[in-house]
Structure 1
Amino acid sequence: MSGTVVLGPVATWFPDTIAEVATLEELDYLAVQRREHALALGIETVRTADELTEVDLAAEAARKALAEAGLDAAGLDALLLVTGRAPQYLLASEATRLQHRIGATRAFTTGVGDLGCVSVSAALTLAASLVRGDARCRNVLVVTAAKTPTLNRYRPPMTVLGDGAAAVLVTTSGPGRWEFVDQIVRSDGKYADLFRIDYRDIPSGEWVEECADESTYSFRLAVESKKRFDDIVPELLERNGIHKDAVGPILMQNLSAGAFAFWEEALDRPVDKACRGNLAAYGHLGSMDILVNLEAAAGGRAAGEYALLLNSSPVAAWSAGLMRRV
């Protein structure tokens, strides 16, 4: 890989409405064990978007990122939308709806999805490839939004979902905070529908997120995820000539306090404190998590320091990214 790729600014946008997890009405109808689990995840509050769509949320974050960069949307060369899991309409285009909403009239525009939380990692790989491989592509805006697809925010046996949006500008010489050094993304179709919503012929108000096999998620997938990271993290560091001790606390997605503890033991390195703070305040934000954490952690890293950005999804997919503070 050649050519410097800079990430930033990273802009986040959250709805004003805040819900305390302990007061979520849905918890009253759970079995005692489930309720106790939901309250022990380390998530205190979540933001709720109410009637706003994912594109509404995405547009707010996109405008904020462009304003912080001092860039007009008409000057964007590419716009990548990390598509949600429940689009507003079938056959319609969420990506071009966002393009029209923000006025990115000349941007190459497409959606990136189907890898769950790791979709944002795939979008960053595509964005980096665009600015490295096409001299006419000077900037790419990657946008992702999270909105709970069902009436319930608790996703057993994993997390509690919050709403919001994030956008990051990807350039070769922008005002960003991180250099995108390298990234590896892997996936495995054996788990393609481990988590799912049966939606055909079912009113949206009755949609339920289901885990097809909780033991597979809690044990088999956890073991496989550790093996995957044991493979791709050393590969990522070795091919970039970086010793593992040169990388500080890891940044990763926000699922639960228990998940952080598991990965700290499995990977033998601490999770950055920014992750726990964002978990408590916002819950799990899907693909947004790693961007929210990357921005929050930037202030605690000196120029030249490396960060290891890990992401995973129960579909299943995994990514390891190497970032350097600029």
Structure 2
Amino acid sequence: MSYGIVAIGESLGESVEVTDAEIEKYTTSHETVRSWGYRRFRRADDGVLLTDLAVQACEQALKEAAVDAAEVDLVVLAIADFAEYLCWDAAAAVQGRIGAVNAEAILVNQACCSGVMAFDTAAGRFATHENYHHALIVASNRICDTYQNRMETSTSVLSDGAVAALVRRGHERGRWLATETISDGRYANFFRMDVGGTAHPFGVDGAGDKDDLQKQANPLGRVAEILGNDARRMLEFFNKFGGNMRVAVDRVCARTGIAPGEIKRFLHLNDNQQAMADIAKVLDVPLERFNGDLALDLGHFGSADQMLGLHRLTQAGELQDGDIVALTTLGGGMHWAVTLLRI
């Protein structure tokens, strides 16, 4: 199975400096946010929603590749959590709005791993549909302030934006090599929202009122509760953050015959500066081969970080033909995933 990236398009919210005044809008934990090291993040205008960003990124990628939307055979939309509506297919909505009338639409919603895993989804469809020649892989993120807090929901400053890659069967540049994913459902409740689903619908017994939503604002604070306040289970959980990432990288390298030392750059999720350093240490990779500095100027875009980093490094001329790039991520589920590309 062989396909590669022809063009990348992006659509990001307005760039906002992480100042004390901005931090105050979201949290009183100034020192914590400052310790993360973020300089800027992206915030979309009111009324600009997740699929709006996705459509704009797709249209830019199509224009850059000089490919008509009617030539696209597959649209894979990767999101980290919420789209605009319930009981609604956001992937199909994007397909319809860009005019990809001949394309199949697939939604991948595996938290922050979605964008990396979407490359495998496209590979599978190419493998089983010989008539598929072009696909759009698009990752989009739009924070809903009612459900999430940009500076409290995770250990990152959250951003709004979308990135789309137009890929073509047999294209040699930006070629997909392999994807490896590890899942551990024992931690499925991590980042879970307790109200709004069928177990506890909004509007029943006060579900969805302001107090309920505030309780869900910081799921990281629920780790001890989820793990039964068991110190050993908590230690095991946090050790898996890096340990499973190392296993996933080792597995994908073994499958492709590529040594970890041959990987030119690691594009990880846009986590804070300490978390990025921790992952680099676990993988035994110099920190300068990661996207840490870029992440601090952009914020965390859910499932879109890796493709955005790839686009920015390519534009800056920091990647050359033949370079191996690893897109790495972890996220709720829990999942750990890595995709290898050859530039």
TM-score with structure 2 setting the length: 0.85
Give the count of matched residue pairs: 318
Q: Which residue is 1:317 aligned to?
A: 335
Determine whether 1:142 maps to 2:137. yes
Aligned with residue 234 of structure 1, among 250, 256, 262: 250
Q: Any idea what the Cα deviations from partners look like across 1:11-58, whole Å, max 9, x if unmatched?
A: 11113x332222455536744xx3211112121111211221101111
Question: CA offset at residue 155 of structure 1?
Answer: 2.9
Question: CA offset at residue 76 of structure 1?
Answer: 0.6
Determine whether 1:209 maps to 2:224. no
Aligned partners of 2:80 and 2:141 also within 8 Å: yes
Q: Give structure 1 stretches of 5+ with no counterpart.
A: none
Q: 1:156 to 1:55 in 2, by over 3 A?
A: closer
Instruction: Tell me the secondary structure at the aligned position of residue 88 of structure 1.
Output: coil
Aligned partners of 1:58 and 1:144 also within 8 Å: yes
Aligned partners of 1:127 and 1:170 also within 8 Å: no
Q: Which residue is 1:110 aligned to?
A: 106
Structure-1 separation of matches of 2:40 and 2:32: 15
Matched ranges for 1:245-284 at <5 A: 245-272=261-288, 275-284=291-300
Q: 1:256 to 1:204 in 2, by over 3 A?
A: same
Amino acid at match of 1:103: G
**Pairwise CA RMSD:** 2.4
Aligned partners of 2:116 and 2:329 also within 8 Å: yes
Determine whether 1:129 maps to 2:124. yes
Q: Which residue is 2:199 aligned to?
A: none
Structure-1 separation of matches of 2:134 and 2:210: 37
Structure-1 separation of matches of 2:259 and 2:240: 24
Q: Which residue is 1:21 aligned to?
A: 18
Structure-1 separation of matches of 2:160 and 2:26: 22
Q: 1:29 to 1:209 in 2, by over 3 A?
A: closer
Aligned with residue 306 of structure 1, among 299, 320, 324: 324
Q: 1:30 to 1:157 in 2, by over 3 A?
A: same
Structure-2 separation of matches of 1:305 and 1:246: 8
Structure-1 separation of matches of 2:283 and 2:290: 18
Q: 1:35 to 1:52 in 2, by over 3 A?
A: same
Aligned partners of 1:274 and 1:297 also within 8 Å: no
Q: Which residue is 1:119 aligned to?
A: 114
Aligned partners of 1:19 and 1:46 also within 8 Å: yes
Q: 1:241 to 1:273 in 2, by over 3 A?
A: closer
Aligned with residue 36 of structure 1, among 20, 24, 31: 31
Question: CA offset at residue 119 of structure 1?
Answer: 1.2
Q: 1:57 to 1:272 in 2, by over 3 A?
A: farther
Aligned partners of 2:252 and 2:340 also within 8 Å: yes
Question: CA offset at residue 193 of structure 1?
Answer: 2.3
Amino acid at match of 2:131: R
Q: Which has the higher mean CA deviation after the structures are superposed, 178-187 or 210-219?
A: 210-219
Determine whether 1:74 maps to 2:83. no
Q: 1:204 to 1:323 in 2, by over 3 A?
A: farther
TM-score with structure 1 setting the length: 0.89
Aligned with residue 222 of structure 1, among 224, 238, 260: 238
Structure-1 separation of matches of 2:84 and 2:246: 38
Determine whether 1:97 maps to 2:122. no
Aligned partners of 2:36 and 2:273 also within 8 Å: yes
Question: CA offset at residue 233 of structure 1?
Answer: 1.8
Aligned partners of 2:79 and 2:141 also within 8 Å: no
Amino acid at match of 2:283: L
Q: Which has the higher mean CA deviation after the structures are superposed, 195-204 or 315-324?
A: 195-204
Q: 1:22 to 1:214 in 2, by over 3 A?
A: farther
